Amino acid sequence: MTENFEHLNELWDWGQWLFKQECTFLRGVEKLEDLPEFFLPEVAFAGRSNVGKSSLINSLTGRLTLARTSNTPGRTQQLNFFSLDERLILVDMPGYGYAEAPKTLVARWQKLIKQYRTGNKSTYKVLSAKLRKRMDP
């Protein structure tokens, strides 16, 4: 048991180190056929529009403007890929369920998100973090 906790501490230190390394924007894609295979683990941030997906990526990587944030829901319209020290890929997803965007546009984002989730990236783990907004008091 103690060994496991020591392992967790090491992992935590490793994570803290990793997220201080350089993070760079790779590309944004709108079509599945443009989806690149990076041969690295990917962590995708998913959730409704405006819950703070892009802000969370900026906060985790200690950068203010890496992932574009906006007060206007639906600003992130592509799958945006970022490389963290060429060890981990972070994916900023478009929001889903945004009622005011044109239906065809929303349908296109949803298709893209679904294709990404169910795509043939079988050899590399994709961890999807689904975000929900906490109501501020």
Ligand X SMILES: Nc1nc2c(ncn2[C@@H]2O[C@H](COP(=O)(O)OP(=O)(O)O)[C@@H](O)[C@H]2O)c(=O)[nH]1
Query: In the bound complex, which residue of the shown chain has the CB atom lying closest to ligand X?
Result: 52
User: Of 125, 52, 57, 68, whose CA–CA distance to 91 is shortest?
Assistant: 57
Sign of the torsion angle spanned by Cα atoms 103, 109, 114, 119: positive
Q: Which is nearer to ligand X, 49 or 61 (CB)?
A: 49
Q: Which is nearer to Mg ion, 57 or 84 (CB)?
A: 57
Decide: is 76 part of the binding site for Mg ion (CB under 5 A). yes
50 binds, among ligand X, Mg ion, none (CB under 5 to 8 A by kind): ligand X
Quote the least distance from Cβ 6 to Mg ion, whole Å: 37
Q: Which is nearer to Mg ion, 9 or 110 (CB)?
A: 110
Decide: is 50 part of the binding site for Mg ion (CB under 5 A). no
Quote the least distance from Cβ 124 to ligand X, whole Å: 24
User: Of 18, 31, 111, 101, whose CA–CA distance to 61 is shortest?
Assistant: 18
Question: And the tokens for 18?
Answer: 């990793």
Cα–Cα dist 87/22, whole Å: 10
The footprint of Mg ion on residues 4-43 (CB under 5 A) is none
Quote the least distance from Cβ 4 to Mg ion, whole Å: 36
What are the backbone dihedrals phi and psi of residue 36, each rounded to the nearest 5 degrees, phi first? -85, 160
Quote the least distance from Cβ 85 to Mg ion, whole Å: 22
Q: Which is nearer to ligand X, 2 or 132 (CB)?
A: 132
Q: Radius of gyration of the chain from Cα atoms?
A: 16
126-131 and 23-29 as β-strands: parallel, antiparallel, unpaired? unpaired
Which residue ranges make up the site for Mg ion (CB under 5 A)?
53-54, 76
